[in-house]
Amino acid sequence: MHLTPAARHQRILALLRDHGSVRLERLHRELGVTPMTVWRDLRVLAEQGLLRRVQGGAQALGGALAEPDFETKLTAADQAKQRIAAAAARRFVRPGDVIALEGGTTVAALVDHLPESGVSALTNSLPIALRLRARRPALPVHVVGGWLSAISGNTTGPEALKEIARREASVCFISATGWDALRGPLDPNPLEIEAKRALAACAERVVMLFDAAKFTRSAACVTLHPRRLHALITDAPPPKPIRTQLREAGVELILAD
């Protein structure tokens, strides 16, 4: 079966997560493409800060650029995420809304604060879709198809982007891994970022849910330019340079109680 570049990249990253390194011969065999195509894929992923190219293959990277899985992130800063989610629901969820939910764990916390009825959800996240079914079973949920990430449980790739582009939402709730005072919100995985941007583009308003501990963290790629955000909800004041950045971009800063 022919794999798209996005699907090949996900497979390469999954192999590196499981094994730490991978040989060119294995990638050539498993992906069903030429060695030259494999090297181009590795070069792209290396330029994006997602792996290290070595002689004969690639190695995984650790530290700030590595992407933890959904369950690991779900337990981090849980109380802060619940306060942020509660503030988001009070302020931005209205009867009749179509709510776009990307696959971050702070966004997942929002499920517990949604009304029992009167809104519907659009998501590319299998974990969030399952959480909605378990905790808000009466809400209609549209789950976006595409390539399923083994790390996050989110769908990405061309199929997901095309499907999201056909949808409309009242508000998109989005999160990120880190923040830079010059570049804005950051994430490690370009494929996930593409899906986040698509969800943001289909919504009338875009609200970032972001626990304050992440203001000191970094990642490889810009998630979304701050000017695309309508509001940022967090649990503590950001550093002064980020507050200045938000003010200049016209982003409303909301501190959760």
Give the global pTM: 0.74
Position 220, amino acid: A
Judge whether 246 and 226 are in contact, CB under 8 Å.
yes
The string over 77-93, giving b where at least 16 C-beta atoms fall within 10 Å of a residue's C-beta and e elsewhere, is: beebbbbbbbbbbeebb
Question: Mean pLDDT, to the nearest integer, of 80-99?
Answer: 96
Check if CATH label 3.40.50.1360 holds for domain 70-255. Answer: yes
Q: What pLDDT sits at residue 1?
A: 56
For 164-212, how does the pLDDT look when each residue is reduced to its tens digit (9 = 90+)?
A: 999 999 999 999 999 999 999 999 888 899 999 999 999 999 999 999 9
Q: What is the 3-state secondary structure (H, E, C) of the chain?
A: CCCCHHHHHHHHHHHHHHHCEEEHHHHHHHHCCCHHHHHHHHHHHHHCCCEEEECCEEEECCHHHCCCCHHHHHCCCHHHHHHHHHHHHHHHCCCCCEEEECCCHHHHHHHHHCCCCCCEEEECEHHHHHHHHHHCCCCCEEECCCEECCCCCEEECHHHHHHHHCCCEEEEEECCCEEECCCEEEECCHHHHHHHHHHHHCEEEEEEECCHHHHHCCCCEECCCHHHCCEEEECCCCCHHHHHHHHHHCCEEEECC
- Domain 5-61 fold is Arc Repressor Mutant, subunit A (1.10.10)
Residue 26 or residue 208, greater confidence: 208
Residue ranges of domains in the chain: 5-61, 70-255
Percentage, residues of the chain above pLDDT 70 = 93
pLDDT of residue 76: 47
